[in-house]
Structure 1
Amino acid sequence: MIWQKDVECMERSALQKLQSERLASLVRRVYECVPFYKAAFDQKGLSPSDIRSIDDISKLPFTRKTDLRDNYPFKLFAVPMSAVVEIHASSGTTGNPTVVAYTKNDVALWSEVMARALAAGGATKEDIIQNAYGYGLFTGGLGVHYGAIALGAAVIPMSSGGTKRQIKLMSDFGSTVITCTPSYALFVAEEAVSMGIDPKAFKLKSGIFGAEPWTNNMRREIEERWGLKAIDIYGLSEIIGPGVAIECYEGQDGLHLFSDHFYPEVVEPGGENAVAPGETGELVLTTLTKEGIPLLRYRTGDIVSITEEPCPHCGRTSPRISKVRGRTDDMLIIRGVNVFPSQIESVLLEIEETEPHYLLVVDRVGSLDQLEVQVEVDEKIFSDEIKVLESLRKKIQREIESTLNLVVSVKLVEPRTIERSMGKAVRVIDKRELYS
């Protein structure tokens, strides 16, 4: 189903004209309303009048996640607070989170692109969508919720967790589409089997899964267990939330990116030059139509490739990005939560019984990602009573879980156990093989 055929199948020349008009308008607005961008323009000797078409976008400055944190909480907003109707925030590293604002028009935009995404993923107004993404400051739950309403589908706002209840209502209500993280989809299937229920007995026809990287092998496992089509969705809170790009139900062959609202570039990781079509690089996005916190050339940190060829499966003409193949930074995504090693380091530095050496071991146990934090402790503490060590372990675990809002396991190890490096310290061992 193509929900907005006139836009999603737009001729390339018409799309570029629309993008050019929207970029020119955006540049004028951020120059006038956001001091950060005015300073960035002035530093480059740029005037809004220099940006006449979408081809001029390479003249503009990049925006980085650190810029959002440095301007915490509201300095990048392009509207007064009286025009803001919703605020979301992602987790911080050692300090401030990234904060994003939505006006009424932004919420309408979010609803529109998420309705497009749900439709591309096989949903119609006849469907019952069980939304098991988390609601709250995380954008996943509300994004799907708004999109389902705009599409005219019935949405069950389950949020995450409560797995036995998820299964009961999925059966009783006859849910036809499920939205959640892919790892949670596998966990629900396992729980259903443990209850004596065949996951294929449900009425689900498709699942729209995102918020964490996942492989095609994982896709095949989900589809086999559930008997549905597993669709990859992409988004990030800084841009809009979920609804930036999605695979189509017909092809599952690259994620259609709604470039009339979010203009994509793929550049050299850490560099500024565009890569050749089809080559991998860092995805950079510009929010052409957002009001609350519009962003110019935002460096997502996600490694993808892109194709401009129309989709041979569904007919959409929007560009398609590959599944995310890696990151340019050291961020981990664990059960939908962004985790930076520096967050954990900041916790450990506050606990004097520990040494400044740690290792994060990420693995997939069953269907869920697990994070183990190995921490070296002071020699005197390590040789102390077991109850003292256990008390310290629980203290570290509480502090880390409070910071990350994520359940972790903590393992205390002897001094000088964690391997030292002459160069950049190896802080993470990821055993999930996410990008195969």
Structure 2
Amino acid sequence: MGIDRRSVMSMIGFTLPAGAAVGAAVGTGIGAPATAQSSTGVADRQLRWLIGATRRVPVPADELAAHVAADTLAAIGGTDALNEVFAQVGALTAGRSLTDAATKAERLATAGAAQWVVTVEVDGTGLIAGLHFAGYHDTPRSWAELDRRARALAPNVSFAAARVGRDGHTALVHGIAPDTRRPLGSAFKLYVLGALADEIAAGRASWQEKLAIRDDWKSLPSGVLQDRPAGTELTLADFARYMISISDNTAADHLIHRVGRARVERELGRLGNADPAADLPFLTTRELFVLKGHDYPRLASRYQRLPVPARRAQLAAIDRVPLSAVTPWTTPRRVNGLEWFATPADICRALAGLSDRYRGAGMAPLGTAMSTNDQYIGLNRRRFPMVWYKGGSEPGVLTVNFLAGTDRGEQLAASLLLSDPERSLDEAALLPEVIALARGGLELAARR
């Protein structure tokens, strides 16, 4: 479902909706910094300036203005706010380059024992239009190390790493309870994207089709579209990009309504979910918010006791509950009963299925949606030029799911699903380690 973080200091590895991708992921690194690589790209030059600036805090306003676009600096909160971020991150030393493209550069960097993935994007004038600091943990060097570290994260852990064949089928390389069903959080949105892609391939929808935002289809954050006025029109491609890249719940619900709940439910099987019945009826995010945040636990208990047909009939009443009547919760609520569910092996198959759809004519927006946010995984993009990502979280649930394409034309998938039905998971503290394990799964699976 996601957690909305808007202040600069509290944003843990997430992107500002305004477009200035600033964050500071918590965590300490292990081991020595990598060796820096030389580069002549504009984005990388700005990145190396940024890393140097962290050693000269406070950086004068005129120097920041010479390197950071004015609207980006304003979105961050101004000169003082950016200097505060620099002070929090610490004095950095540049490490090896991960990405050096025309408009985007990414490097590892160290500050004492902490390691970071530092990312900048530049605009047409060469000024920094987006920046992000994400905590980096060392990549596991073996499956045994990955297993040990993964099992330490939560009471319930499932993992799968798989190779994706050219026929779209997956072959499991390694797993921890890979066929054990877990709650997904917002990773359920992969099935919504698949249903939309199939509707477009069948000619019943178009990426450029306009859909108006409706108040009765709005949900709660994560996301930004819930703040747009009713009647605002976006293309289905826009809804898909919001749904995947920033996990916009309102975007997901609009797409579920547009393609139809039954169509999404059929997509579970089409994308390889081994037990689609566990997700019936397929809930919107708004419905889950109501079930867990309104008249809890009475409403949730009554709903769960019903058979699937009666649950479907109950959804109409649930949809009439105003969002203002929903109270947020901070501890796990029925994560093993009221959620969306799949196994890591299921998710690898879903990612493979989406990749297969992407190869169809006119499916570029699917790839855009899946690749806009790579959760700062820290892969060397020369070796892994394509990275798709979708994660998910709610109290007691944290999942990360990746598809990566190598420079040799291989495709690999990794899915790590964590849950605790009793206690909330500390997402900010866990995320750098969780990302490191997913990175390790992809790199280990790529070995011959």
Q: Shared topology, TM-score over 0.5? A: no
TM superposition score category, shorter chain reference: under 0.3
TM-score, normalised to structure 2, is: 0.26
Structure that is richer in helix per residue: 2
Which structure has the larger Rg over C-alpha atoms? 1
The one of the two structures with greater contact order (alpha-carbon pairs below 8 A, sep at least 6) is 2
Structure that is richer in strand per residue: 1
TM-score, normalised to structure 1, is: 0.26
